[in-house]
């Protein structure tokens, strides 16, 4: 009996001393802002038509051959900036960013926060 009482007293004391553990997650790092060059690409892409991301058709190719006129919407040399340009054009004209373009941006190295910021900015105005 004495052992049982001693154990119960030890358990009661341990429960009285127990303080619940609170885990606090560190604040999420903010998405780095777009660089000046990326900002300029976004601004210029918002002025382009949706046809700028499509390959030139027969007529455009014919004009290029006959008159040396290069069709508009030439892709950028940097694949990361080209992904940004294409996503901005699509989001601006379709008023949403399709998952395929969002995935392309993430594969290019942009964070999910940057993808959301781009979508908001491209649609917003």
pLDDT tens-place string over residues 41-69? 999 999 988 878 877 778 877 887 888 77
> What was the pLDDT predicted at 84?
94
Number of domains in the chain: 1
Q: Please, are residues 80 and 108 in contact by the beta-carbon 8 Å criterion?
A: yes
Q: Which two tokens stand for residue 7?
A: 């154990």
> What was the pLDDT predicted at 30?
66
In angstroms, what CA-CA distances link 106 with 80, 100, 120? 10, 10, 16
- 44 located within any domain: yes
Give the residue numbers spanning the domain of 92: 33-49+75-124
Q: Which two tokens stand for residue 121?
A: 């900015």
> What was the pLDDT predicted at 32?
66
45, 49, 50, 51 alpha-carbon torsion, rounded to 10°:
-120
- Give residue-wise pLDDT tens across range 11-41: 777 777 777 777 777 776 665 689 999 999 9
Average predicted confidence (pLDDT) for the chain: 84
Residue 87 has pLDDT above 80, yes or no: yes
């Amino acid at each position: 009996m004495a052992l049982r009482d001693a154990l119960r007293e030890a358990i009661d004391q341990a429960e009285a001393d127990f303080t619940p553990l609170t885990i606090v997650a560190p604040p999420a790092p903010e998405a780095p802002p777009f660089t000046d060059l990326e900002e300029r690409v976004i601004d210029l892409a918002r002025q382009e038509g949706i046809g700028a991301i499509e390959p030139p058709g027969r007529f455009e190719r014919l004009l290029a051959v006959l008159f040396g006129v290069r069709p508009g919407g030439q892709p950028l040399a940097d694949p990361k900036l080209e992904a940004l340009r294409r996503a901005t054009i699509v989001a601006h004209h379709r008023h949403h960013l399709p998952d395929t373009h969002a995935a392309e941006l993430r594969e290019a190295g942009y964070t999910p926060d940057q993808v959301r910021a781009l979508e908001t900015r491209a649609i917003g105005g």
